[in-house]
Structure 1
Amino acid sequence: MDGFIGGVWWYIVAIGVLVTFHEYGHYWVAKRCGVKVLRFSVGFGKPLWMRKNKDGTEFAIAAIPLGGYVKMLDEREYDVAPEEAHRAFNRQSPWRRIAIAAAGPVANILLCVLFLWGAFVVGLKEYAPVVGRTTGIAAEAGLRKGDEVLRIGDRNIQTWTDVRFALALAGLDRERVAVQVRNADGDTLTRTLDLSKLPAEFDELQAPTLVGLTARYQLEPPTVDDIVPGSPAYGVLAEKDRIVAIDGQPVSDYADIAPAVKALAARGGPGMIEVLRTEGDAQSPERRAFPLTPRIDKGEDGKPVARIGVIHKSSGTMPDFDAVRRYGPIDAIPAAFVETWHKARDTVGFMGRMLTGNASLKYVSGPVTTARAANATAKLGLAWFLNFLAVLSISLAILNLLPIPLLDGGHLLYYLIELVKGSPLSERTMAAGQYVGLALLVGLMGLALFNDVFFH
């Protein structure tokens, strides 16, 4: 499914699964604590479907798929028959209420582990953490093309996504970070990136680019898509030629062409341009070499620039994945727990830095961005969609654990205070907290929708 319909469908699937497990966590623990559950609802508003079990619990699917709830018997909300008073939520000990409130986020954490286990068993295709090109801070630190990133700070690296998140968090702190790599010769080396040199404000998720690291998969092939008429390459090179060397200097990326041409022009005289060319019905390309002399033109800034006249057009499509994280059913269990810890740490790290103002609030996303991401990952296959659900599940768990009234974390805060002071908070204090929590949640939702419209 594409576009709007696909986004809506996969969003409903994702939210439906996550909310169902979250609320089931509350329901399951409440039942074992002897609390009567009146309703288990996925979604808000008017029920579209409802069924009641023998214990009197109503199971419902409601019209607005933006969450869900478990309604329990509670004397603070309505009259309770004397014979059922012992089953009321408010009659339970603080420890039981803590267990019930914490059960939802815990269910999401366990669900994250389950999703990651499934993704690893299926095989999560990714891009290898191999450096394609370095400039700036990365080049100054000694990182080179072909280096495989093994570790950044205290985090083991397995994919380029790991590189992005590790550098994003370290960059926000403007710290010097050790990067362990394996170079093309197989030697393990440690380089130090001085991230204090990053701009005062930057896009956190673009940290590798700003540091000067380009992944191998991001390199553009040095193919000739067009030739400028009258240029040195006109009538010599042909469309679909792949340039492999200029004046003896190997070329593996389109970005290698300009400096090689500049060096050739500085040397003076013609140089050999070597290409791979496929003609006619030939099954394999033939290596050919042609003499060319760069022409000196005036650049956009008015300065002289050496050119040979070839044009490369980006395909606009992502290259095939070159790595896969796949484990057997047993080995995938510890791998899923470790990855869950990484995702939790990254999420908490970004949230903490947002609260302190070190990270941009534009990464607070709402339903529109979530729907787009759900649709995009679903197109990449089952493993990627499971990974997306895992990220969403751990984010939901952490969000719900924030000490904000109306959220599970707010209830946990109330019950912990009750344990300390020996008595529940007053109705007035709890009501005031509810209003504060409502204001915070409305503000958070407004920010998320604003970001959906203007930044995503």
Structure 2
Amino acid sequence: MSDIVGSIWWMVVALGVLVTFHEFGHYWVAKRCGVKVLRFSVGFGKPLWSRTDRHGTEFAIAAIPLGGYVKMLDEAEGDVPASELPQAFNRKPVLQRIAIVAAGPIANLVLCVALLWAMFVIGRQDYSATVGQARGLAAKAGFVAGDRIQAVDGQTINTWGDALQAMTTAAMDRHDPQILVSDRMGVEHTRSLSLSDLPAGFDQENVAGLAGFAWQHQLAPALVEKTQPGSPASKVLIAGDLITAVDGDPVRSFGDISPLVQKLGARGGVAMIEVERNGERLALDIQPVWTHDQDSGKEYWTLGIPPPTQLKPAPYDAKQQFGPLAAIPAAFRETGKLASGSLGMIRRMLTGQASIKNISGPITIAQVANATAKRGIDWFLYFLALLSLSLAIINLMPIPVLDGGHLLYYLIELVKGSPLSERAMATGQYVGLAMLASLMGLAFYNDIFRLVT
């Protein structure tokens, strides 16, 4: 229940911030162009709060917090007194109308850069792209546990999220990326990952998993939560011990223990198990025993250490942080990178390379808003920046009803020297509404499908 309330609250906060900036862009440029603004509303429906300034503009917060609008004086909206005709939007030169309409998406782009700048100054904590386990295509390419991905096709990789995005894009394009890694000893290698071998119709949300990667931070730590009574572990280990090595072989996750124990049992004799206990490193004698599992019918060597049942998030091992000045170009670079990725995804969906399942609606947005807010201010700022950029890109699409559709009308007017006919614009509005309704329907379907599955 708390997650539902949190999701709704943080989505309202996010949309409130982004819509306010978007509409302020329209408002600010409209005022500079001498257009009279009748209403500046955050949200739709009945106003919950409003006030009117000395210029006659009503500022309102409405009941439905899923958008907003700026209403300007316009003859298309109703009769305009002769004395106010010079302040009507439709009476302004076409270049000024283009500037007013484009100001909303531009405001979102500016906000995206500002949010990323703040995020970089604070510092965004994340996980490095360190391989925990490699199977399948990853193992075939030569990846091993401990490899840290540094670049994919020349693109610098700072976090595991960067690596996921680069791999997913390459898989959609049926391209085999060249991946630069540094191994445990710091030696660099370039490995070719055969993502084109993934089957047709592969799950585009799990490319790394399908390729055989498990990331280091996702693996259960080799932590002793308890020991089985009478087992070898019960005689030397206690709850809270962190196992670091078995018979000299390093242990980086709980999954490393069993293969090493089988190897140790096959060798026979006593071995050393190394642990960290209360800040001290200890080396203890231990010898596995042969056991029969009555439930599965399998026989194997064991120490008697059940896997942990309560997993804590792994500590962050990567951080992107810059000083106030260095964060400025970093924010512009990140904005360009995110914009390129978003436009590339749209292109791939239009060409069929990317699945339309990648389209998300308000339910997913609300869930991500809540999740990022829980992770910290750095992640919530990143989420807001990405959402602000998405809002700018969507609004610039040449779909009637959206800002991009109006810009298309005005560009046609600029070329032909006269406005489109009212009939043509009305037809465009109906087409735009149908396209927008279809897009929203698809987004809601994807959201609900994710919840159900």
> Which range moves more in the overlay, 323-332 or 206-215?
206-215
Partner residue of 2:176?
176
Residue number among 386, 392, 395 corresponding to 1:397 in the alignment: 392
Residue 67 of structure 1 deviates from its aligned partner by: 0.3
Aligned to 1:311, what secondary structure does the other structure show?
coil
Partner residue of 2:427?
432
CA distance in 1, matches of 2:188, 2:285: 37
Amino acid at match of 1:191: R
Partner residue of 1:335?
330
1:233/1:95 CA distance change after superposition, 3 Å: same
Map 1:201-220 to 2 at 5 A: 201-220=201-220
Residue 174 of structure 1 deviates from its aligned partner by: 1.7
1:314/1:349 CA distance change after superposition, 3 Å: farther
CA distance in 2, matches of 1:99, 1:136: 53
Partner residue of 1:269?
268
1:263/1:201 CA distance change after superposition, 3 Å: farther
Partner residue of 1:413?
408
CA distance in 2, matches of 1:181, 1:247: 28
Amino acid at match of 2:393: I
Partner residue of 1:290?
286
Determine what percentage of the aligned residue pairs are the same residue: 53
Deviation per residue, 1:226-283 (Å, 9 max, x gap):
4556777676755544433344433222221233234345x453452514274xxx76
Map 1:87-106 to 2 at 5 A: 87-106=87-106
Q: Where do 5+ consecutive residues of structure 2 fail to align?
A: none
1:142/1:201 CA distance change after superposition, 3 Å: same
CA distance in 1, matches of 2:11, 2:333: 26
Map 1:41-440 to 2 at 5 A: 41-227=41-227, 239-265=239-265, 267=266, 269-270=268-269, 272=271, 274-276=273-275, 278=277, 284=280, 286-295=282-291, 307-440=302-435
Q: 2:275, 2:282 within 8 Å by CA — same for their partners in 1?
A: yes
Aligned to 2:77, what secondary structure does the other structure show?
coil
Aligned to 1:63, what secondary structure does the other structure show?
strand
Amino acid at match of 2:285: A
> Which range moves more in the overlay, 438-447 or 108-117?
438-447
Partner residue of 2:12?
12
Residue 105 of structure 1 deviates from its aligned partner by: 0.7
Aligned to 1:252, what secondary structure does the other structure show?
coil
Q: 2:72, 2:89 within 8 Å by CA — same for their partners in 1?
A: yes
Amino acid at match of 1:80: V
Q: 1:232, 1:294 within 8 Å by CA — same for their partners in 2?
A: no
Deviation per residue, 1:305-340 (Å, 9 max, x gap):
655543202434322212221111101100111111
Residue 19 of structure 1 deviates from its aligned partner by: 0.3
1:235/1:24 CA distance change after superposition, 3 Å: same
CA distance in 2, matches of 1:104, 1:50: 22
Aligned to 1:204, what secondary structure does the other structure show?
coil
CA distance in 2, matches of 1:311, 1:220: 12
> Which range moves more in the overlay, 64-73 or 52-61?
52-61
1:304/1:402 CA distance change after superposition, 3 Å: farther
Q: Where do 5+ consecutive residues of structure 1 fail to align?
A: none
> Which range moves more in the overlay, 88-97 or 384-393?
88-97
Instruction: Give the CA RMSD over aligned residues.
Output: 2.6
Amino acid at match of 2:283: R
> Which range moves more in the overlay, 290-299 or 332-341?
290-299
Amino acid at match of 1:78: G
Amino acid at match of 2:318: A
Counting matched residue pairs gives 451
Deviation per residue, 1:158-193 (Å, 9 max, x gap):
111111111111111121111122233333332211
Aligned to 1:76, what secondary structure does the other structure show?
helix
Q: 2:105, 2:391 within 8 Å by CA — same for their partners in 1?
A: yes
Residue 204 of structure 1 deviates from its aligned partner by: 2.6
Q: 1:247, 1:271 within 8 Å by CA — same for their partners in 2?
A: no
Normalising by structure 2, we get a TM-score of: 0.91
Normalising by structure 1, we get a TM-score of: 0.90
> Which range moves more in the overlay, 351-360 or 160-169?
351-360
Deviation per residue, 1:202-240 (Å, 9 max, x gap):
333322222222222222222333455677767675554
CA distance in 2, matches of 1:442, 1:387: 28
CA distance in 2, matches of 1:152, 1:375: 31
CA distance in 1, matches of 2:401, 2:135: 49
Amino acid at match of 2:119: A
CA distance in 2, matches of 1:350, 1:273: 52
1:303/1:200 CA distance change after superposition, 3 Å: farther
CA distance in 1, matches of 2:117, 2:276: 45
Deviation per residue, 1:284-310 (Å, 9 max, x gap):
35320212244476995x887655543
